[in-house]
Amino acid sequence: MGFLHKGHISLVKESQKKADITIVSIFVNPTQFAPNEDFSKYPRDLEKDSQLLLNEGVDYLFCPTVEEIYSTNHQTYVDVTEITKILEGEFRPTHYRGVTTVVAILFNSVYPDFAFFGQKDAQQTAVIRQMVADMKYEIEIVVCPIIREEDGLAMSSRNIFLSPAERDKALVISKSLNETSELISSGDHNVKNIIKKVNNNFIKESSIHLNYFRIVHADTFKEIDELKLGNSYFILVAAKVGNTRLIDNLLIHL
pLDDT tens digit sequence for 202-234 = 988 888 999 999 999 999 999 999 999 999 999
Specify the pLDDT at position 204. Answer: 85
DSSP string for 79-110: ---STTSSTHHHH-TTHHHHHHHHHHHHHHHH
Specify the pLDDT at position 38. Answer: 83
Q: What is the mean pLDDT of residues 180-187?
A: 95
Q: What is the pLDDT of residues 69-122, one digit of tens each?
A: 999 999 999 999 999 999 999 999 999 999 999 999 999 999 999 999 999 999
Specify the pLDDT at position 247. Answer: 97
Q: Angle formed by the axes of helices 122-134 and 95-110, to 10°?
A: 60
For residue 44, which amino acid is it? R
3-state secondary structure of 232: strand
For the chain, helix, strand, coil in percent to 5 are 40, 20, 40
Phi first, then psi: what are they for 253, rounded to 5°? -120, 130
Q: Are 111 and 122 in contact (CB under 8 A)?
A: no
Q: What is the mean pLDDT of residues 4-23?
A: 97
Share of residues in the chain with pLDDT > 70 (%) = 100
Q: Where are the domains of the chain?
A: 6-144, 157-253
Neighbouring-strand partners of residue 25: 62
pTM of the model: 0.93
- At 189, which helix (H) or strand (E)? none
**Average per-residue pLDDT in the chain?**
95
Assess if CATH 3.30.1300.10 describes domain 157-253.
yes
Q: What is the mean pLDDT of residues 43-56?
A: 96
Query: Hey, what CATH class is 6-144 in?
Result: alpha beta
Q: What is the pLDDT of residues 114-124, one digit of tens each?
A: 999 999 999 99
Q: How far is CA 128 from CA 20, 80, 162, 221, 227, in A?
A: 23, 9, 29, 13, 26
Q: Cβ atoms within 10 A of the Cβ of 56, count?
A: 16
Residue 190 in this model has a pLDDT that exceeds 90: yes
Q: Which of 5, 8, 95, 253 is catalytic?
A: 8
Specify the pLDDT at position 233. Answer: 97
3-state secondary structure of 215: strand
Measured over the CA atoms of residue 2, residue 8, residue 13 and residue 17, the dihedral's sign is negative
For residue 142, give the nearest of 114, 110, 107, 111 by alpha carbon.
114
Q: What is the mean pLDDT of residues 137-152?
A: 97
Q: How far apart are CA 100 and CA 12, in angstroms?
A: 21
8 is catalytic: yes
Q: Are 224 and 211 in contact (CB under 8 A)?
A: no
Residue 246 in this model has a pLDDT that exceeds 90: yes
Specify the pLDDT at position 207. Answer: 85
Phi first, then psi: what are they for 65, rounded to 5°? -85, 165
Specify the pLDDT at position 205. Answer: 85
Beta strands in 57-207 (DSSP E): 60-62, 114-118, 140-144
Rg (CA), the chain: 19
Rounded to a whole number, what is the distance in angstroms from the first to the last CA of the chain? 34
Q: Where does the pLDDT of residue 36 fall: very low under 50, low under 70, confident under 90, or very high at 90 and above?
A: confident
